[in-house]
């Protein structure tokens, strides 16, 4: 049974009111791919009554009174995607589609949804606690660069007028908060929960690291780079410190991260009573498209040790990897098999990075992730490399008689894959788990750009491609690699974009899609974009910011598209690479 989404559904359960009202910018899909569903079902399993206010009318306060006054609080999330990213392209143009909304249409959620929803909830019931969670609140928990306004913004806790932020994966935190509220603890006194952020005027009673003040961040961009370096070094539950960011008389306090769930705790979360579908209220609008990819997919793990600088996963979830047990994954597979729409194909078994299934080294579980070292790029000499647990899960799924194919569509970290001396996983990946195309993310091939990105060298990608092709021949498969490529990342100038274009030409790869670098809140690369320096080394970095250069870099990566010829020619002339304009084999375009 779905949780109540209307007042009548609440009445049908004989509830006079809700303990919590969860407000989300997504349509209501009761599936563990959606954080709102996990949190609501978890609270339900602990005896709390939760109603779902999905995509409310943010211009009408009465919609925020739909269920009446909640007994314990409002829980607010923008949804599974940051609302500004969801609403705008990298060129800051309004998106026309939204797979998380009815009719696949945009316009169902406001810009800066967390702030808007929180202010409306406060207007509806002034004395009800408001707790923020999800990706938008998590990545904006401290001062952050906002690409759409091209300026630093304050902690979202201040602009939203909320009481508390739950950052990261919030299962432990939300239950501790709920139990505290239920036992009569005032929301202003809930300052002790790991994985939360709160505001105070008194910081004299605990140890902490003091970040530069918001005033200092606005005076000098280098302060922001230094501040984010400190933040990036304090994302592990074992070795992080409390962080404090001053705002005049107020302080924003970030408690240390909540510890990741262990495999058995993770199993319990995924064994909750999800409907694994969208709410029936959306039937008349044709359903919600976002369910299609995840309905017959399995989330197997959490966390990512990859450390790509343009990715916010480390800042949100930390570098520690946790995975479900095989038995839990098989239980979910059998539930999927029983679905009347199931055709025999598991679309994905993975997570942030599919082939990360356990911690990277023995020290990680004891001392936490290293503050000043990465696991993969550059490779750490303490690295443990194994695909045995993941492979065991895949084999067990393949052996279920009702399953025809098990695909892996989550990201594969190919440099980690190559480090495994046991080639069993690589071979079985090629033989059993690819649906024609394997998507991997080299992102670039220029050494300097890759270093700035935190990605492995080109030679590693080339080695992977060669081995992939060898195994395809061995198993008589016609399968292809589809590389994700990124233009205009910090460190990338026209010459490096041309180098990538030459590589694509030489290897006969013609990408249909290229991602321009999108400066989203709280990634290392976004800080570089704003400050012009690498926060780790404080070295200056070239930043492509003009619209013209961005268009040129993007066009170079799709040089075969006739629409791009004018821009490609202009870029080549500007870079003094007219040698690539001509009829010879090495030329990108003809005169």
DSSP letters along 402-452, please?
Answer: T-SEE---S---HHHHHH-S-THHHHHHHHHS-BSEEEEEEE---HHHHHH
Given a cut of 90, whether residue 512 has pLDDT beyond it is no
Average pLDDT, the chain: 96
**Domain 7-196, CATH homologous superfamily name and number:** Response regulator (3.40.50.2300)
**What's the half-sphere exposure (Cβ side, CA atoms, 13 Å) at 295?**
19
Given a cut of 90, whether residue 61 has pLDDT beyond it is yes
Instruction: Please state the rounded mean pLDDT for residues 541-568.
Output: 96
pTM for the whole structure? 0.96
Q: Give pLDDT, residue 365.
A: 87
Instruction: Please state the rounded mean pLDDT for residues 1-14.
Output: 97
Phi-psi group of 454: left, alpha or beta (phi > 0 → left; psi -120 to 50 → alpha; rest → beta): left
Q: What is the 3-state secondary structure (H, E, C) of 209-227?
A: EECCCHHHHHHCHHHHHHH
Contact 544, 493 (CB under 8 A): yes
Binned at pLDDT 50, 70 and 90, residue 314 comes out as confident
Nearest to 409 by CA among 464, 349, 471: 349
Choice among 71-75, 153-157, 306-310 with the minimum mean pLDDT: 306-310
CB atoms within 10 A of CB 366: 9
Ranges in the chain annotated CATH 3.40.50.2300: 7-196
CA angle, 72 then 13 then 50, to 5°: 30
Supply the DSSP symbol for 298: E
H-helix segments, 101-155 = 113-124, 134-139
| C-alpha–C-alpha distance, residues 457 and 470, integer Å | 21
**Before 487, cis peptide (omega within 30)?**
no
Given a cut of 90, whether residue 46 has pLDDT beyond it is yes
**Tens digit of each residue's pLDDT (9 = 90 or more) over 96-135:** 999 999 999 999 999 999 999 999 999 999 999 999 999 9
Which tokens belong to 409?
């569509």
Residues 128/134/138/143 CA torsion (nearest 10 deg): -70
Q: Give pLDDT, residue 373.
A: 86
Q: Which residues contact 378 (CB under 8 A, 6 or more apart)?
A: none
Percentage above 90 pLDDT, the chain:
92
H-helix segments, 271-368 = 291-294, 313-317, 326-337, 364-367
Whose structure tokens read 């911690």? 359
Which tokens belong to 69?
């006054």
**Tens digit of each residue's pLDDT (9 = 90 or more) over 225-265:** 999 999 999 999 999 999 999 999 999 999 999 999 999 99
Q: Using CB atoms within 10 Å of the CB of residue 80, give its burial: 0 to 12 exposed, 13 to 18 middle, 19+ buried.
A: buried
| C-alpha–C-alpha distance, residues 469 and 479, integer Å | 8
Helix (H), strand (E) counts: the chain:
23, 22
Q: Give pLDDT, residue 591.
A: 93
Q: Give pLDDT, residue 327.
A: 97
CB atoms within 10 A of CB 568: 23
Nearest to 367 by CA among 553, 473, 238: 238
Instruction: Please state the rounded mean pLDDT for residues 385-413.
Output: 96
Given a cut of 90, whether residue 157 has pLDDT beyond it is yes
Nearest to 522 by CA among 98, 39, 155, 23: 155
| C-alpha–C-alpha distance, residues 140 and 523, integer Å | 11
Q: Give pLDDT, residue 204.
A: 85
Given a cut of 90, whether residue 377 has pLDDT beyond it is no
| C-alpha–C-alpha distance, residues 519 and 148, integer Å | 9
Q: Give pLDDT, residue 206.
A: 82
| C-alpha–C-alpha distance, residues 451 and 466, integer Å | 22
Q: Give pLDDT, residue 411.
A: 86
Which tokens belong to 575?
């870079």
Q: Give pLDDT, residue 407.
A: 97
Binned at pLDDT 50, 70 and 90, residue 378 comes out as confident
**Tens digit of each residue's pLDDT (9 = 90 or more) over 285-298:** 999 999 998 999 99
Q: Which residues contact 420 (CB under 8 A, 6 or more apart)?
A: 385, 386, 387, 426
Instruction: Please state the rounded mean pLDDT for residues 561-589.
Output: 97
Q: Give pLDDT, residue 69.
A: 98
Contact 48, 72 (CB under 8 A): yes
Which tokens belong to 14?
């004989």
**What's the half-sphere exposure (Cβ side, CA atoms, 13 Å) at 558?**
19
- In angstroms, the Cα distances linking 298 to 1, 20, 28, 31, 335 are 21, 28, 19, 11, 11
Q: Give pLDDT, residue 246.
A: 98
């Amino acid at each position: 049974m779905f949780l109540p989404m209307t007042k009548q559904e609440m009445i049908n359960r004989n509830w006079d009111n809700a303990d919590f009202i969860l407000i989300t910018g997504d349509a209501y899909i009761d599936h563990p791919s959606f954080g709102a569903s996990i949190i609501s079902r978890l609270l339900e399993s602990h005896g709390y009554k939760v109603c779902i206010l999905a995509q409310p009318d943010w211009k009408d306060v009465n919609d925020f009174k739909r269920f009446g006054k909640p007994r314990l609080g409002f829980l607010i999330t923008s949804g599974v995607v940051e609302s500004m990213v969801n609403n705008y392209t990298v060129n800051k143009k309004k998106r026309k589609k939204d797979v998380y909304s009815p009719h696949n249409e945009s316009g169902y959620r406001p810009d800066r949804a967390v702030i808007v929803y929180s202010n409306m909830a406060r207007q509806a019931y002034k004395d009800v606690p408001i707790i923020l969670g999800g990706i938008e609140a998590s990545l904006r928990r401290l001062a952050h660069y906002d690409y759409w306004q091209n300026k630093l913004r304050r902690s979202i806790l201040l602009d939203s007028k909320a009481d508390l932020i739950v950052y990261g994966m919030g299962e432990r935190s939300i239950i501790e908060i709920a139990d505290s509220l239920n036992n009569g603890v005032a929301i202003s006194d809930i300052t002790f929960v790991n994985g939360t952020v709160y505001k105070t005027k008194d910081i004299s009673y605990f140890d902490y690291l003091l970040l530069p003040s918001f005033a200092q961040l606005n005076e000098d961009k280098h302060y922001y780079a230094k501040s984010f370096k400190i933040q990036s070094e304090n994302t592990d539950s074992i070795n992080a410190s409390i962080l404090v960011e001053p705002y005049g008389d107020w302080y924003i306090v970030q408690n240390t991260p909540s510890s990741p769930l262990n495999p058995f705790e993770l199993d319990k979360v995924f064994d909750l009573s999800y409907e694994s579908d969208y709410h029936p209220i959306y039937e008349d609008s044709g359903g919600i498209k976002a369910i299609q990819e995840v309905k017959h997919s399995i989330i197997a793990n959490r966390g990512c040790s990859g450390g790509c600088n343009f990715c916010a996963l480390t800042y949100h979830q930390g570098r520690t990897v946790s995975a479900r047990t095989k038995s839990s994954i098989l239980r979910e597979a059998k539930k999927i098999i029983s679905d009347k729409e199931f055709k025999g194909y598991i679309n994905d078994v993975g997570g942030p990075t599919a082939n990360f299934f356990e911690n990277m080294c023995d020290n990680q579980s004891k001392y936490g992730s290293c503050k000043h070292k990465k696991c993969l790029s550059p490779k750490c000499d303490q690295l443990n490399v194994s695909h045995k647990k993941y492979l065991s899960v895949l084999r067990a799924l393949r052996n279920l008689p009702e399953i025809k194919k098990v695909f892996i569509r989550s990201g594969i970290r190919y440099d980690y894959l190559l480090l495994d001396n046991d080639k069993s996983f690589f071979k079985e990946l090629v033989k059993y788990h690819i649906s024609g195309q394997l998507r991997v993310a080299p992102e670039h091939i220029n050494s300097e750009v890759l270093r700035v990105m935190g990605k492995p060298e080109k030679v590693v990608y080339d080695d992977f491609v060669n081995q992939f092709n060898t195994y395809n021949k061995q198993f008589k498969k016609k399968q292809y690699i589809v590389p994700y490529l990124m233009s205009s990342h910090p460190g990338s100038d026209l010459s490096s974009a041309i180098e990538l274009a030459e590589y694509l030409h030489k290897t006969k790869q013609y990408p249909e899609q290229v991602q321009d670098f999108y400066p989203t809140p709280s990634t290392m690369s976004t800080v570089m974009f704003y400050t012009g320096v690498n926060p780790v080394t404080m070295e200056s970095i070239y930043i492509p910011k003009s619209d013209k250069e961005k268009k040129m870099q993007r066009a170079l990566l799709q040089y075969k598209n006739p629409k791009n010829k004018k821009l490609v020619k202009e870029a080549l002339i500007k870079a003094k690479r007219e040698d690539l304009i001509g009829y010879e084999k090495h030329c990108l375009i003809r005169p």
